[in-house]
Amino acid sequence: MRIDVLTLFPKMFESPFAESIVARARAAGKLELAIHDLRGWATDRHRTVDDVPYGGGAGMVFSPEPLATAIRALRSRGHVVLLSAQGRLFDEAAARRLAALDHVVLVAGHYEGVDERIIETDVDEELSIGDYVLTGGEIPAMVVIDAVARLLPGVIDASSLREESHTVGLLEGPQYTRPPEFEGRKVPAVLLSGDHASIEKWRRAEAIRRTVERRPELIDAAELTPAERARLPRPAAKAAVRDADLVAAYRSGVGSYRIAARFGISPATVRARLRAAGVRLRSARGAQRGPTAAEVARMRATGLTVRELARHYGVSHVTILDRLKKAAK
């Protein structure tokens, strides 16, 4: 398989793929990886590839011309993927889909992103590695390359791929190695039994149990037999809120509104339980209800709106505005 990457920062790709499994896949000719500097397609003396956004706003946008020329020069019959926080979530199924192709071109955006017209005309799909915003598409492109490379035939032993998390829609169960006992904690006896059928059964049951516990939303689409589905353990009930945690939070200076938001119970319940636990409540006037001015200012600097901050802290927007005013003084 061949992967071409278009980026403003080609050096970022040097060390991650110079070692370990991807390096071996490259050396063995199973993966051909070529990293291209987008500035190589710029036409002016300063090698400019971006410009200010129409309509104003912060940051720069990749200009259509150098990007289109670069993609068209590289793509031949390849599939063009733009790494984007707005793309479909990149998951194991997407990795498998890309690994089945002969040629993929990965475009790593930067700054504010890419002129929309190029996405419409030259990009086959947009992929996101998660619901957060990174400074550039380089690390997402590396994530895609790594996940795809290990699926290429002969790169990793096929049997280890079969058991891995997400391959059949389940997380993998726990793994152990020697010694059989470490600091008093023993490896499950079945793994030492040499009984391969029992080990397989145990691993399968652990994978199902772990998926139900940690990622219950995956279980519906997982490949389970009807008998396994019928035996599915019930998801663990939401952990009860302990009095000790409420008391510790309150004694550390956090107000009852904020504790309520943190533990998902009402402020009245928090106060009632604190009183029942023998805590003398601070007078409402003296108490700082909600977050401190410094905390709100720090969160505000990440770009959240007043409304989002109010929801985050479980307080009113008036409280948020008040804290922001205090922080500005």
Ligand X SMILES: C[S@@+](CC[C@H](N)C(=O)[O-])C[C@H]1O[C@@H](n2cnc3c(N)ncnc32)[C@H](O)[C@@H]1O
The rounded distance, in Å, linking the Cα atoms of 168 and 130 is 21
Residue 36 CB, shortest distance to ligand X, in Å, is 15
The rounded distance, in Å, linking the Cα atoms of 158 and 165 is 14
Residue 99 CB, shortest distance to ligand X, in Å, is 18
Distances (CA, A) of 155 to 14, 22, 150, 283: 20, 8, 6, 65
**Comparison of 124 and 200: residue with beta carbon closer to ligand X:** 124
Compute the CA torsion angle 279, 280, 284, 285 (nearest 10 deg).
Answer: -140
Residue 114 CB, shortest distance to ligand X, in Å, is 6
**Comparison of 85 and 287: residue with beta carbon closer to ligand X:** 85
Residue 90 CB, shortest distance to ligand X, in Å, is 7
**Comparison of 8 and 208: residue with beta carbon closer to ligand X:** 8
Residue at shortest CB range from ligand X: 109
Q: Dihedral sign, CA of 299, 300, 305, 309?
A: positive
Query: Looking up tokens 């998390």, which residue turns up?
Result: 165
**Comparison of 140 and 291: residue with beta carbon closer to ligand X:** 140
Residue 111 CB, shortest distance to ligand X, in Å, is 6
**Comparison of 10 and 109: residue with beta carbon closer to ligand X:** 109
**Contact between 293 and 326 (Cβ < 8 Å):** yes
Interacting residues toward ligand X by CB under 6 A: 83-86, 108-110, 112-114, 128-130, 132-137, 140
Sheet containing strand 103-108, edge to edge, reads: 32-37, 2-7, 103-108, 79-89, 125-128
